[in-house]
Homo-oligomer: A and B are copies of this chain.
Amino acid sequence: MSVYDELKPLFSPKTIAVIGASEKEGSLGRAIMNNLLSIKFPGKIYPINVKGDTCFGLKMYRSVLDVDGKIDLAIIIIPARAVPTVLEECVKKGVKSAIIISAGFSETGEEGKKLEEKVLSIAREGNIRVLGPNCLGIYNPRSKIDLIFNPPDRQQKPGPGKIAFLSQSGAFGAAILDFMAEENIGISSFVSYGNAMDITESTLLEYFAEDPETSVITMYIEGVKDGRAFVEVAKRVVPKKPIIVLKAGRTEAGARAAKSHTGSLAGADAVYDAAFRQLGIIRAISMDDLFIKAKALSLQPPAKGDRIAIVTNGGGVGVMASDAIELEGMKVAELSSETIKKLKEVLPPHASPYNPIDILGDADYIRYSNATKLALSDPNVDGVIVLIIPQSPALEHQKLVESLVDIIKSQEKPVTIAIPGGDISKRVSEEFEKHEIPTYKTPEDAVMAMKALVLYGYALKKYGLL
């Protein structure tokens, strides 16, 4: 059975047992029952608790063995010590997958480590795939699984989208979900995998490579469980979908902190870096950068090279973007003489027909369309960054969006956009993003986004696919 088929019951279960379900105020069992009911999980939920009775109006069972129907996924939220017995019952019942949210395993020392090994051997012998322990579990807005138990008034969650996010850190993962919701970035699945006892980051990569809802895989890691497996899997995944990794523990101080946090040996960061490069995995340098790059890769095609043209109605932002392109190791494209000639024909005398193409502060949407079209059709250009100062009275925003979207969608080179400012910038950006054009707040961010498209282009070339 493929990893995708093995993990399907975990990500898209039809029936869930909540082992440790409860109505008790402040309990994890209550929070998770609440979540599944609020998100309207469409399948069957079996609350399990030795206390029996009912839970939120549902019949409560003493054990999974008392349940009549099949169980795709068991969510385990009971104290660590009781987990082996319960997992054995799951095996006996034929439960297909489990998520152990409970902490108190290898992260706590020797005794916990032994307990984790025991649980793992039960899972392996019983042929049941297990996520965790010591994790937040899964959030999936399409199959309507939500195990993120923070109070709803302080934890927003994003809607469905094409980006998967795998997090070695639980708390940070929750903050990221909240951030994605606020920024309107959709998600395919969020996975906090905790101690990665059975299902590791490599298993998850293999799953998401096949998941039709996911087009970009993002990860927060401090280290990987099994380097060799990771390399093997990544080689198969990168040609299918871009992987973007925020790996913390880049410095000596960070590596020390990571060791104390997840026990990861992050010391060999240079080894990771070389491996990522070799494999075509894209490395993000910060939380912001991770989503700048993910948005670009989920919406735009990879670039065939690194020669970038800039179209701008603000000279200053054009200079900043030029700086950023060169600092990121890309090239400010040298436009062909034919493009320059044509630009001179359509632009006013004081405009700059060289790159950055400065169409001046009084540019209207027609000047933007002409310049962007010419830049995109230049054989010396692999991608175009459009910079818009939207405060200018000369711009008809709606027409600008319509004409640029038409131009961008009618060809195959990638485009990223930056619209600096406040409220008006947000409004115009939203219009572009409705048409799946990735839009950012600063010239530097639009350049980081383009960098991701250039890097994925390199990766595909390496695999002979571009």
A contact residues vs B (CB 8 Å cutoff) = 108, 149-151, 153-156, 167-172, 174-176, 178-183, 220, 222, 248-254, 256-258, 260-262, 266, 286-288, 313-320, 322-327, 331-332, 350, 352, 354, 356, 358, 361, 389-393, 420-426, 441-444
CB distance from A284 to the nearest CB of B (A): 11
A171 touches B249 (CB 8 A): no
Contacts of A423 in B (CB 8 A): 156, 178, 181-182
Residue in B closest to A148 when the chains form the complex, CB atoms: B391
Name 20 A/B residue pairs within 8 A (Cβ), A-sorted. A108-B350, A169-B314, A169-B316, A171-B392, A174-B391, A178-B391, A178-B421, A249-B323, A251-B322, A253-B332, A254-B320, A254-B322, A254-B323, A257-B318, A257-B356, A260-B352, A261-B315, A287-B420, A288-B442, A288-B444
A182, B150: Cα distance in complex, Å: 28
A178 touches B253 (CB 8 A): no
Evaluate whether A420 and B172 lie within 8 angstroms (CB atoms) in the complex, with A150-B393, A260-B352, A332-B253 already known: yes
A354, B426: Cα distance in complex, Å: 42
Contacts of A248 in B (CB 8 A): 316, 319-320, 323
A297, B156: Cα distance in complex, Å: 32
Choose among B168, B254, B319, B424 the residue that contacts A257 (Cβ–Cβ < 8 A): B319
Contacts of A327 in B (CB 8 A): 250-251
Contacts of A254 in B (CB 8 A): 319-320, 322-323, 326
A422, B352: Cα distance in complex, Å: 40
B222 touches A316 (CB 8 A): yes
Residue in B closest to A390 when the chains form the complex, CB atoms: B154
Contacts of A320 in B (CB 8 A): 248, 254, 286-287
A326 touches B251 (CB 8 A): yes
The A interface, classified by DSSP as helix, strand, loop or mixed, is helix
Residue in B closest to A330 when the chains form the complex, CB atoms: B253
Choose among B179, B257, B260, B286 the residue that contacts A421 (Cβ–Cβ < 8 A): B179
Contacts of A169 in B (CB 8 A): 314-317
Contacts of A331 in B (CB 8 A): 253
A389, B179: Cα distance in complex, Å: 11
A422, B172: Cα distance in complex, Å: 12
The 4 A-B pairs of least Cβ separation, nearest first, read A182-B422, A169-B316, A261-B315, A172-B316
Choose among B150, B180, B249, B316 the residue that contacts A392 (Cβ–Cβ < 8 A): B150
A424 touches B153 (CB 8 A): yes
Residue in B closest to A422 when the chains form the complex, CB atoms: B182
Contacts of A174 in B (CB 8 A): 389, 391-392, 421
Contacts of A314 in B (CB 8 A): 169, 171-172, 175
* 6 extra interface residue pairs, beta carbon distance < 8 Å, beyond A174-B389, A178-B425: A172-B314, A172-B389, A179-B422, A254-B322, A257-B356, A286-B320
CB distance from A249 to the nearest CB of B (A): 6
B171 touches A361 (CB 8 A): yes
Contacts of A149 in B (CB 8 A): 393
Contacts of A108 in B (CB 8 A): 350
CB distance from A28 to the nearest CB of B (A): 10
Residue in B closest to A354 when the chains form the complex, CB atoms: B260
A320, B246: Cα distance in complex, Å: 10
